[in-house]
A and B are shown apart, each in its own frame.
Chain A
Amino acid sequence: MNILLYMLKRITYNIPVVLLLTLFVFSMVRFLPGDPADILLSGEGGAEDPVVRATLMKELGLDKPIPVQYGIWLWRAVHGNFGKSVYSQEEVFTLIMDRFPATLMLALSSMIVSIMVALPAGIISAVKRQKPADYGAMIFALLGISIPEFWFGIMLILTFSLWFPILPSMGFMSPFQDFFGSLKFLVLPAVALGLRMAGVVTRMTRSSMLDELGQDYVRTARSKGLSERAVIFIHTLKNALIPTVTIVGLQFGTILGGSVVIEMVFSWPGVGQLIINSILTRDYLVVQAAILLLAVFFLFVNLVVDFVYTLLNPRVELT
């Protein structure tokens, strides 16, 4: 099957999934205790006035049956209209989009940090199997998947901001304002957030490297006299990385989820912090929209990973 056709198929597969997501998030507000109209109108000015309220309800279709309400809500959502925040009176969509770059920057940096650590660790661990380096890497990976990232973050603050004050414990600076200055703020949260993924990717890389090293083509490469280095880097690694790519895509979700907590630890002004603060201030329209957008973004990233995977791996069957 043609690769373009395959991509089209993957995209269409995701359309019902996105629709279900919107349905789920739409229902969320209906399940909240209290009158949904109160929640939905809370951001609009003058909603206490019965006349204004009636007009607003009509405008938002709240006097219509639920399926129609969903349709209206969806139509507005597709146009980026998620209503107004009760707390700040700002457009919900603008509020989220203002903070999205910070979250994306944090998420991408922690992915880079963790891959930079995990790939070498996983490769060394597989090549030096059952040797001290292997045990070291495996213990590191186990700690990575066992230590809560937010506690690790607090420990980093304790060490590098309080005991040896070399890095700031909280805050954010735009890289466009001062690139190196912004890195100082980025280091600790990115390392804390990347820990878990580093553990997962190390384990994955090790096990897929071991799989590949046992294959016939590796034995052939060795027996024709290639150096071990060439066997590993030219022949094995390329194939071993294929499952790693998949796991990196899936782990992106963990990173996004983890960013919610890490942003609170480091006062990082991203979408995660917005979600938690909005839950605490009962700003439900913001919670609803932010969660929907993060989930859709996660789906999108997985779609991209899927394409990269097919491009990397000619063996994959396009069905």
Chain B
Amino acid sequence: MAAKDISAIPEAAEAPGFSWDRFGERFRDRFQDFRKNRLALAGIIIVISVVVVALFAPVIQIHDPLQQNIANRLHSPNWEHFFGTDHLGRDVWSRIVHGSRVALLVGLIAVGIGVIFGTPIGAIAGYYRGKVDEVIMRIMDAGLAFPPILMALVVVTILGSSLFNTMIAIGVDYIPRFARVIRGSVLSEREKEYVEAGRMVGEANLSILFRQILPNSLSPLIVQATVFIAYAMLTEAALSFLGLGIQPPNPSWGSMLNEAKLFIESDPYLAIIPGLAISITVLGFNLFGDGLRDILDPRLAKR
């Protein structure tokens, strides 16, 4: 192949596919809109509060979340126990506070697993297209054919129930979902001029893909990841509620609900409080995700 005259495409060759400066600039511009978006702001406040509670759980707790005190069981909310005590006399407030750690950890790690494995799979499928794409996406479609919780149930059945396995179970379910998102955005991104420019100057395929295209395809991924953190929290709660997720005596909002089932008639607060904790946290992440979408994806921006 004859050497390409690079000077013929000076702008395209010089223009970097991606720059963090530009990303930051775009982010700052849109952040102004974000501040005006009250719902998104509420979302950020909820998310930050939950993170703070999780980080400082040992400080915020009033009692040891695992400390049993049978003599003091099933006390309604009062000044010593804001949220009352459960059937083993444990302080519900402290258990809720520590439950935020489980929820966040599962949300972040599960989504992390989905992103780390799903991104390269989807990127390769979208970039190479053709047979590679076909084979990869059929396998991903088989994964997507499992209704959401069922895939996690399969993994938990194989590995057994624990905090660690819950994160893996939910994460595995997310791999095909993230692969699909990334594939879509790489497919549209690869047709752009800067990619062509990269090819002309002889950049290797993998380098173009991972250094140029991927960083430009991140917006949908970030939005999706936020929403999936919320979804992972719901799934963890469901698994723990079924007794297949976080195991007692560790406090998880879902397992607290599971334990509360037996006392629902006499002590409804035991069932109401953990559910509110889950709902508010998930709502926060959903609002935050909606706000991020407005910032990062102007085409879908709020109407």
**Hey, which bits of chain A sit against chain B, CB under 8 A?**
16-17, 20-21, 24-25, 28, 31-33, 129, 142-143, 145-148, 150-152, 154-155, 157-158, 162, 207, 210, 253-258, 260-261, 264, 275-276, 279-280, 284, 287, 291, 294-296, 298-299
B149 close to A261 (CB less than 8 A): yes
A32 close to B158 (CB less than 8 A): yes
B147 close to A294 (CB less than 8 A): yes
Contact residue among B150, B156, B272 (Cβ-Cβ distance under 8 Å from A155): B272
B261 close to A145 (CB less than 8 A): no
With a cutoff of 8 Å between Cβ atoms, the chain A residues found around residue B213 in the complex are: none
Q: B202 in the interface, Cβ–Cβ < 8 Å?
A: no
B141 close to A17 (CB less than 8 A): yes
B289 to chain A, nearest CB (A): 10
Query: Which one of B147, B149, B257 has the highest number of Cβ atoms from chain A below 10 Å of its Cβ?
Result: B147
B13 to chain A, nearest CB (A): 35
B230 close to A275 (CB less than 8 A): no
B147 close to A254 (CB less than 8 A): yes
Q: B145 in the interface, Cβ–Cβ < 8 Å?
A: yes
11 contacts between A and B (CB under 8 A): A20-B138, A21-B146, A25-B154, A28-B157, A142-B283, A148-B238, A151-B257, A154-B261, A162-B268, A287-B157, A294-B150
A280 close to B243 (CB less than 8 A): yes
With a cutoff of 8 Å between Cβ atoms, the chain A residues found around residue B272 in the complex are: 155, 158
In the assembly, what is the distance between CA of A28 and CA of B138, in Å? 19
SS of A interface (majority):
helix
A155-B275 contact in complex given A20-B138, A28-B158, C-beta closer than 8 Å: yes
Complex A-B, nearest 3 residue pairs according to Cβ-Cβ distance, in ascending order: A151-B275, A20-B142, A257-B147
In the assembly, what is the distance between CA of A143 and CA of B230, in Å? 12
With a cutoff of 8 Å between Cβ atoms, the chain B residues found around residue A154 in the complex are: 257, 261, 264, 271, 275
In the assembly, what is the distance between CA of A152 and CA of B283, in Å? 14
In the assembly, what is the distance between CA of A33 and CA of B158, in Å? 7
With a cutoff of 8 Å between Cβ atoms, the chain B residues found around residue A279 in the complex are: 153, 156-157, 244
A295-B148 contact in complex given A146-B279, A146-B286, C-beta closer than 8 Å: no
With a cutoff of 8 Å between Cβ atoms, the chain A residues found around residue B145 in the complex are: 17, 21, 295-296, 298-299
With a cutoff of 8 Å between Cβ atoms, the chain A residues found around residue B142 in the complex are: 17, 20-21, 24
A182 to chain B, nearest CB (A): 24
B246 to chain A, nearest CB (A): 15
With a cutoff of 8 Å between Cβ atoms, the chain A residues found around residue B234 in the complex are: 148
A17 close to B138 (CB less than 8 A): yes
**Hey, which bits of chain B sit against chain A, CB under 8 A?**
138-139, 141-142, 145-150, 153-154, 156-158, 160, 230, 234, 237-238, 241-244, 254, 257, 261, 264-265, 268, 271-272, 274-275, 278-280, 282-283, 286-287, 303
B278 close to A148 (CB less than 8 A): yes
In the assembly, what is the distance between CA of A143 and CA of B287, in Å? 10
In the assembly, what is the distance between CA of A157 and CA of B265, in Å? 10
With a cutoff of 8 Å between Cβ atoms, the chain A residues found around residue B286 in the complex are: 142, 145-146
B153 close to A275 (CB less than 8 A): yes
In the assembly, what is the distance between CA of A256 and CA of B150, in Å? 9
B40 to chain A, nearest CB (A): 12
B138 close to A291 (CB less than 8 A): no
With a cutoff of 8 Å between Cβ atoms, the chain B residues found around residue A254 in the complex are: 147-148
A295 close to B268 (CB less than 8 A): no
In the assembly, what is the distance between CA of A155 and CA of B156, in Å? 27
In the assembly, what is the distance between CA of A246 and CA of B242, in Å? 30
In the assembly, what is the distance between CA of A256 and CA of B151, in Å? 12
Contact residue among B241, B265, B287, B303 (Cβ-Cβ distance under 8 Å from A261): B241
The chain B residue sitting closest to A169, CB to CB, is: B264
With a cutoff of 8 Å between Cβ atoms, the chain B residues found around residue A28 in the complex are: 154, 157-158
With a cutoff of 8 Å between Cβ atoms, the chain A residues found around residue B243 in the complex are: 280
The chain A residue sitting closest to B290, CB to CB, is: A142
The chain A residue sitting closest to B143, CB to CB, is: A24
In the assembly, what is the distance between CA of A298 and CA of B278, in Å? 28
With a cutoff of 8 Å between Cβ atoms, the chain B residues found around residue A143 in the complex are: 279, 283
In the assembly, what is the distance between CA of A124 and CA of B242, in Å? 37
In the assembly, what is the distance between CA of A24 and CA of B157, in Å? 14
In the assembly, what is the distance between CA of A24 and CA of B303, in Å? 43
In the assembly, what is the distance between CA of A4 and CA of B83, in Å? 61
With a cutoff of 8 Å between Cβ atoms, the chain A residues found around residue B303 in the complex are: 129, 207, 210
In the assembly, what is the distance between CA of A151 and CA of B273, in Å? 10
Contact residue among B138, B154, B287 (Cβ-Cβ distance under 8 Å from A16): B138
With a cutoff of 8 Å between Cβ atoms, the chain B residues found around residue A157 in the complex are: 264
In the assembly, what is the distance between CA of A126 and CA of B58, in Å? 46
B147 close to A298 (CB less than 8 A): yes
With a cutoff of 8 Å between Cβ atoms, the chain B residues found around residue A25 in the complex are: 154
With a cutoff of 8 Å between Cβ atoms, the chain A residues found around residue B261 in the complex are: 154
With a cutoff of 8 Å between Cβ atoms, the chain A residues found around residue B282 in the complex are: 145-148
Contact residue among B139, B150, B157 (Cβ-Cβ distance under 8 Å from A257): B150
With a cutoff of 8 Å between Cβ atoms, the chain A residues found around residue B278 in the complex are: 147-148, 151
B146 close to A148 (CB less than 8 A): no
B238 close to A150 (CB less than 8 A): yes
With a cutoff of 8 Å between Cβ atoms, the chain A residues found around residue B254 in the complex are: 148
A258 to chain B, nearest CB (A): 7
B154 close to A291 (CB less than 8 A): yes
A138 to chain B, nearest CB (A): 8
A32 close to B139 (CB less than 8 A): no
B287 close to A253 (CB less than 8 A): no
